[in-house]
A and B are shown apart, each in its own frame.
Chain A
Amino acid sequence: MIYRLDAVAAQYPSRRGVVTSLADVSLDIAAGERVAVIGPSGAGKTTLFRLLNGTLRPTRGALRFHDRDVATLVPREARAMRRRIGTIHQQSLLVPSLTVLENTLCGALGSWSLLHALRTAISPARADVERAMRAIEQVGLIDKRDARADELSGGQQQRVAIARLVMQDPEVILADEPFAALDPALTDSVAALLLGLTAAGRTLVCTLHDVELALARFPRVIALRGGRVAFDRRGDAVSSAALDELYRGERAGAHDAAPARSRESAIGP
């Protein structure tokens, strides 16, 4: 198992009291799986992602990555874990003043020493540049390699983010709403790119707003609601009744879909 979550809860303090974004989640993800995570907004999808990519730690319960409890990782090990997990965000989040090539090179930072990174900032090694160029070629932006990231369109930026992911060469790809900012034509090409990356045996976990896309392309669908797993089954086994139940309230425009809050230390009444 790559991931093993055992009764994981995640809470964080906010001005309105303690917000529980994940209440009790237990699930396993095996190597090579393609998993879609769906659910109404506020269900805890993004928090689950931050747990999975090691930028957040569970408040309760245990999260194991390759059978190692992440709570026991020292910072160096946490960094090594993050290196093996590639993340694609809703917006591409490139460094705006760096070129496409430089942003792509950044993908390999996790496997470089600080010295090598400094050297790259001044004059990168030929082998690194060639690898980065291949990644840029793969996403079809080779003629934009010297453009600054902030000169690119949203779709182009998302493709650079994928090139950076190729450069990172992770075991697991986490994609948080990768198509949210893209139009339908781009969605198809970016989805093909992402799924193509998993052909080499990589694991893909992807949150999706678009349920049709999730059911069509992903063998396994995990639904979250109110910080808990609503269902976890094969894509073709998801009934429309289950979906109606999952999105109840949100589609009707009621307030049920708000994040579950517990007011354990609420300030004021």
Chain B
Amino acid sequence: MTLPRRDHVSPRSGRSRAARRRSIRARLRLALFAAAGFAAVIGSAWVAEVRLSALLDPASHARVGELVRGLFPADLSPAFLRVVALAAARTVAIAAIGTVLSVVVALPLGILGTATLFRTGPLVAGDPATPGRRLLAWLSAAARGVLGLLRAVPDLVWAMGFVVGVGLGPVPGVGALAVSYGGVLGRVFADLFEDVDPRPLEALRTTGASRAQIFVFGIWPQALPGVVAYTLYSFECCVRAAAVLGLVGAGGIGYEIALSMRQFEYGEIVTLVGALVALMWLTEAASTALRRVLRANAPPGVLAHRRIHPGASTRRPRTPVLGVVAVVATAATMAAGWAYRDVFDASTATGLARFAVGLFPPDLSPGYLRALLGPIGQTLGISVIGTLIGIVLGGLLGIAATAPHPEDDRVRGAAALVRHVLRRACRVALALLRAIPDLLWVLVCILAVGLGPFAGTLALGAHTAGVLGKLYADTFEEVSPLPLRGLRSTGASPLQILVWGAWPEARRMLVSYTVLRWEMNLRASTVVGLAGGGGIGIELYNSLQLGFYPRVATLTLVVGLLVAATGAIGDAIRRRLGSASSLDH
């Protein structure tokens, strides 16, 4: 409802003519927006070859039933458990070393990519644009571009590139993690460095500090908490990614799963997936605990000298947790580098170089580009429908998994127990959906609906539901309970409370999470294609296997462009849905 303006109120409608015209225009825009969205969904469903009949087909039920029956009993023999433990350890090691190396990639590129240090703003103003300065500004923009490129190519594609260079084993996995997560972290670091309070930096500049010194004493201390938090979060992501990379031969749990799959040893798969779920859960718990320890130990000054002067206050004992973690991780990386030194010989460099040279020039012949249009559409369609499945399934499970604020939980007795069990069950279901990587879901979905884009779509939907459902539930639980209590006291039903109380509060976060996930799913849908899920991924896989490197370059460019395009569309959606309240028209 738009409140009637006092001027020019027409007696018939009680609204001013201008307000009415505004509201008509807004509705038209909304209708156009909805129509475009509807058309996009229908188109996507068509190219993703969604066949609901395949889901109802008894034969596919039988195949999945056979798979599920074959999963039990799980293989828990000591010999196999030893294999699982070793594989899990290897996955964690790959992830840890990949994280350390990704920081090594991210820090220099992130610092160089920080616009406020090299390109714009008060730290640059007032100095003449000497050729050196101009070169630095150019390099800084280039660093941002490089980070974007590293990010745009899926880690699995990086891994396959490294496999071409150094052969199978953990090394290509580590390399892929270092490069692709280096791209993600570098972007995050640069954003963190740009977002610190600029006024202290200006003050440091007036003391005659150089930009490097301003970074060390002004930017770094302000950005450090964020840098640590994101690095730990990135480690969590790396564990998941390391498991997936195993599927293409990088060792660890994923590799064992692929082996067992190939030998139809479903009992082993259950144990391995269970181990993977446990590993994910442990990693999340460990990183949360580490973050808590770091917060409690936050030194008064981040430069953190233990004894800066005689008689320094010992008010807060400081354990150098951060230092210990950093040293251990670095030492492990160096040890691993030493252990795998034989992998890197002269042939590594020539292999990688041959691969890199082979990429040029990219195959841009009109015929090939035209042939790519179909797979590109398919990839887009898979990402859209997969995300939609995730929104619906994740939304239902997420709402069911949302716990009411403890103070508002008035239900007692058996009903309370049932509700509690239901909530826990939904949480566990979400955790399972999330822990199983999309690449593994594809293998299950292929059994159910056969090879093709629909299998990839379902797989993407299953994993996305797990991720989004948890985010939705967490967001709803964080909504302030006070307005909800107010609604309850008016006699609103739980559903009404959700629509009128929780949704307006949580909407901005929900939209932003969902749009971000869609962008990630676009990248994922190329990867899902690698396992026979259709789209551009199959093209990529075939070109890599057959050694058509110019085509690999073209496909990589296409993926990069697609990701950039979704980024722009995502921003537009976020602006549209994130700002205007959708309850008032």
* Chain A contact residues, CB within 8 Å of chain B: 50, 53-57, 71, 73-75, 78-87, 89, 91, 93-99, 101-102, 106-112, 114, 117-118, 121-124, 129, 133, 145-148, 161, 164, 168
Determine how close the nearest CB of chain B comes to the CB of A108; give it in whole angstroms: 8
Give which listed residue, A86, A106, A146, contacts B300 with CB less than 8 A.
Answer: A146
Contact A109 B308 (CB under 8 A): no
Contact B197 A118 (CB under 8 A): no
Contact B204 A109 (CB under 8 A): yes
A147-B300 CB under 8 A given contacts A106-B204, A118-B216: yes
A98-B217 CB under 8 A given contacts A55-B122, A109-B204: yes
Q: For the complex, is B205 an interface residue (Cβ under 8 Å from A)?
A: yes
Distance A148 CA – B298 CA, assembled complex (angstroms): 11
Distance A133 CA – B309 CA, assembled complex (angstroms): 9
Give which listed residue, B127, B301, B305, B312, contacts A78 with CB less than 8 A.
Answer: B127
Contact A75 B128 (CB under 8 A): yes
Contact A106 B207 (CB under 8 A): yes
| Set of chain A residues within 8 Å of B313, measured between Cβ atoms | 146
Give which listed residue, B122, B206, B213, B302, contacts A117 with CB less than 8 A.
Answer: B213
Q: For the complex, is B125 an interface residue (Cβ under 8 Å from A)?
A: yes
Give which listed residue, A73, A82, A85, A129, contacts B308 with CB less than 8 A.
Answer: A129
* B108-149 CB contacts (< 8 Å) to partner A: 122, 125-128, 130, 132-133
Contact A94 B303 (CB under 8 A): no
| Set of chain B residues within 8 Å of A53, measured between Cβ atoms | 206
Among A85, A95, A114, A117, which residue has the most Cβ atoms of chain B within 10 A? A95
Give which listed residue, A96, A106, A111, A148, contacts B217 with CB less than 8 A.
Answer: A106
Residue of B nearest to A99 (CB): B301
Rank and list the top 10 A-B pairs by shortest CB-CB distance, nearest first.
A110-B208, A83-B208, A99-B301, A109-B209, A93-B203, A87-B206, A82-B208, A55-B126, A95-B200, A146-B313
Distance A14 CA – B312 CA, assembled complex (angstroms): 49
A98-B210 CB under 8 A given contacts A121-B217, A146-B312: no
Which one of B10-18, B218-226, B324-332 contacts A? Answer: B218-226
Distance A13 CA – B407 CA, assembled complex (angstroms): 56
Residue of B nearest to A161 (CB): B203
Q: For the complex, is B202 an interface residue (Cβ under 8 Å from A)?
A: yes
Determine how close the nearest CB of chain B comes to the CB of A129; give it in whole angstroms: 5
Distance A112 CA – B225 CA, assembled complex (angstroms): 27
Give which listed residue, A74, A80, A84, A107, contacts B130 with CB less than 8 A.
Answer: A74
B38-71 contact mask (Cβ, 8 Å, vs A): 1 or 0: 0000000000000000000000000000000000
27 contacts across the A-B interface (CB closer than 8 A): A55-B122, A57-B128, A74-B128, A80-B208, A82-B205, A82-B208, A86-B207, A87-B203, A95-B204, A95-B222, A96-B200, A97-B221, A97-B224, A97-B225, A97-B302, A98-B221, A101-B309, A102-B303, A106-B204, A109-B208, A110-B209, A111-B208, A117-B209, A122-B305, A123-B308, A146-B315, A148-B300
Q: For the complex, is B199 an interface residue (Cβ under 8 Å from A)?
A: yes
Contact A50 B305 (CB under 8 A): no
Distance A80 CA – B210 CA, assembled complex (angstroms): 10
Contact B308 A124 (CB under 8 A): yes
Determine how close the nearest CB of chain A comes to the CB of B302; give it in whole angstroms: 5
Contact A168 B221 (CB under 8 A): no
| Set of chain B residues within 8 Å of A164, measured between Cβ atoms | 207
Determine how close the nearest CB of chain A comes to the CB of B197; give it in whole angstroms: 7
Determine how close the nearest CB of chain A comes to the CB of B221; give it in whole angstroms: 5
Residue of B nearest to A76 (CB): B210
Q: For the complex, is B212 an interface residue (Cβ under 8 Å from A)?
A: yes
Distance A86 CA – B203 CA, assembled complex (angstroms): 9
Distance A194 CA – B308 CA, assembled complex (angstroms): 28
Total interface residues in chain B, CB < 8 Å: 40
Determine how close the nearest CB of chain A comes to the CB of B111; give it in whole angstroms: 13
Contact B210 A114 (CB under 8 A): yes
Distance A111 CA – B217 CA, assembled complex (angstroms): 14
| Set of chain A residues within 8 Å of B302, measured between Cβ atoms | 97-98
Determine how close the nearest CB of chain A comes to the CB of B286; give it in whole angstroms: 26
Distance A101 CA – B127 CA, assembled complex (angstroms): 30
| Set of chain B residues within 8 Å of A82, measured between Cβ atoms | 205-208
Contact A55 B205 (CB under 8 A): yes
Known: A95-B200, A106-B217, A121-B216. 4 other contacts (CB 8 A): A56-B125, A83-B207, A91-B199, A108-B207
Among B127, B208, B315, which residue has the most Cβ atoms of chain A within 10 A? B208
Contact A168 B207 (CB under 8 A): yes
| Set of chain A residues within 8 Å of B125, measured between Cβ atoms | 55-56
Distance A112 CA – B210 CA, assembled complex (angstroms): 9
Contact A96 B207 (CB under 8 A): no
Residue of A nearest to B220 (CB): A121
Give which listed residue, B127, B199, B202, B309, contacts A75 with CB less than 8 A.
Answer: B127
B295-338 contact mask (Cβ, 8 Å, vs A): 1 or 0: 00000111101001100110100000000000000000000000
* B127-183 CB contacts (< 8 Å) to partner A: 127-128, 130, 132-133
Distance A112 CA – B132 CA, assembled complex (angstroms): 22
Distance A84 CA – B208 CA, assembled complex (angstroms): 8
| Set of chain B residues within 8 Å of A129, measured between Cβ atoms | 308-309
Determine how close the nearest CB of chain B comes to the CB of A67; give it in whole angstroms: 19
Contact A96 B197 (CB under 8 A): yes
Residue of B nearest to A133 (CB): B309
B369-410 contact mask (Cβ, 8 Å, vs A): 1 or 0: 000000000000000000000000000000000000000000
Contact B206 A106 (CB under 8 A): no
Contact B126 A50 (CB under 8 A): yes
Contact B303 A98 (CB under 8 A): yes
Give which listed residue, B126, B210, B309, B312, contacts A54 with CB less than 8 A.
Answer: B126
Residue of B nearest to A71 (CB): B128
Distance A100 CA – B197 CA, assembled complex (angstroms): 18
Distance A122 CA – B301 CA, assembled complex (angstroms): 12
Determine how close the nearest CB of chain B comes to the CB of A65; give it in whole angstroms: 13
Distance A94 CA – B61 CA, assembled complex (angstroms): 66
| Set of chain A residues within 8 Å of B207, measured between Cβ atoms | 82-83, 86-87, 106-110, 164, 168
Distance A82 CA – B207 CA, assembled complex (angstroms): 6
| Set of chain A residues within 8 Å of B213, measured between Cβ atoms | 109, 112, 114, 117
Determine how close the nearest CB of chain A comes to the CB of B120; give it in whole angstroms: 13
Distance A146 CA – B309 CA, assembled complex (angstroms): 10
| Set of chain A residues within 8 Å of B216, measured between Cβ atoms | 117-118, 121
Give which listed residue, A79, A95, A133, contacts B221 with CB less than 8 A.
Answer: A95
A89-B203 CB under 8 A given contacts A79-B210, A98-B301, A106-B209: yes
Residue of B nearest to A114 (CB): B212
Distance A109 CA – B209 CA, assembled complex (angstroms): 5
A57-B305 CB under 8 A given contacts A82-B207, A106-B209, A107-B207: no
Residue of B nearest to A107 (CB): B207
Residue of A nearest to B221 (CB): A97
Contact A109 B200 (CB under 8 A): no
| Set of chain A residues within 8 Å of B197, measured between Cβ atoms | 96
Give which listed residue, A86, A94, A108, contacts B206 with CB less than 8 A.
Answer: A86
Give which listed residue, B206, B218, B309, contacts A55 with CB less than 8 A.
Answer: B206
Residue of B nearest to A74 (CB): B130
Among A53, A73, A97, which residue has the most Cβ atoms of chain B within 10 A? A97
Distance A252 CA – B415 CA, assembled complex (angstroms): 71
Distance A75 CA – B118 CA, assembled complex (angstroms): 13
